[in-house]
Amino acid sequence: MNYLAHAWLARHSDDAILGALLGDFVFGQSGLEDWPTPVRAEIVRHRRIDRYTDDHPAVVAMRTRFGGLRRYAGIVLDVYFDHCLAQGWDRWNDAPLGAFTARIYRILEARRTELPGRLAALAPRMAAHDWLGSYARRESVDAAVRGISTRLSRNGDRLLACLDVLRADEDAAQATFETFFPELVRAAGAMLDAG
């Protein structure tokens, strides 16, 4: 899953949301030691959620539809699943999407001095352009993937090629989300209960 879904799955506390966002920026066991327990627990849960997502049969099946681009398909699907969540936000939430994304941006701003360099640099742009709220618009998926492709050390063109496959098979990607996401919500809840 991408930033919006990770943050939403951690909505029970601000520390948890921070940890969910840090999951892509804090590496290894030693990196965890720098964070208080609630943040650290959510970083670990982020990693478990990523593993669950990567191994989920519906997601695995969808990635195979990308053929030789399977390795990059997971990135595109993560972004697309955030789009699906944002587009169907009212189905999953009582509060508006804008209220939730504003909360995320407030958390990032309040904790800016603690953020790893890459996230500290990214957070103001994320808020200024409402990246997370913009996922409700389909064109934001393509824009996000184009941005990610420029940050890859190599094969950004292969990531971009995944967008053509996604456009051609978008109904299947949407169906994958519909199958997968409710199961992820239950699994993530169990991960939280298990500690």
pLDDT of 29 reads 83
- What angle, 0 to 180 degrees and rounded to 10, lies between the N-to-C axes of helices 156-168 and 170-194? 110
**What percent of the chain is predicted at pLDDT more than 90?**
77
pLDDT of 24 reads 87
pLDDT of 2 reads 85
pLDDT tens, residue by residue, 113-151: 999 988 999 999 999 999 999 999 999 999 999 988 888
Average pLDDT value over all residues in the chain: 92
Distances (CA, A) of 164 to 36, 115, 137, 150: 42, 35, 17, 17
pLDDT average, residue stretch 49-76: 94
Report the Cα 123 to chain-centroid distance in Å.
Answer: 14
Whether residue 1 has pLDDT greater than 70: no
Whether residue 195 has pLDDT greater than 90: no
Between CA 104 and CA 143 the distance in angstroms is: 21
**Considering only 5-19, 76-90, 127-141, 154-168, which range has the smallest mean pLDDT?**
154-168
**pLDDT-derived band at 154, boundaries 50, 70, 90:** confident
pLDDT of 157 reads 87
Report the Cα 93 to chain-centroid distance in Å.
Answer: 17
6, 20 in Cβ contact below 8 A? yes
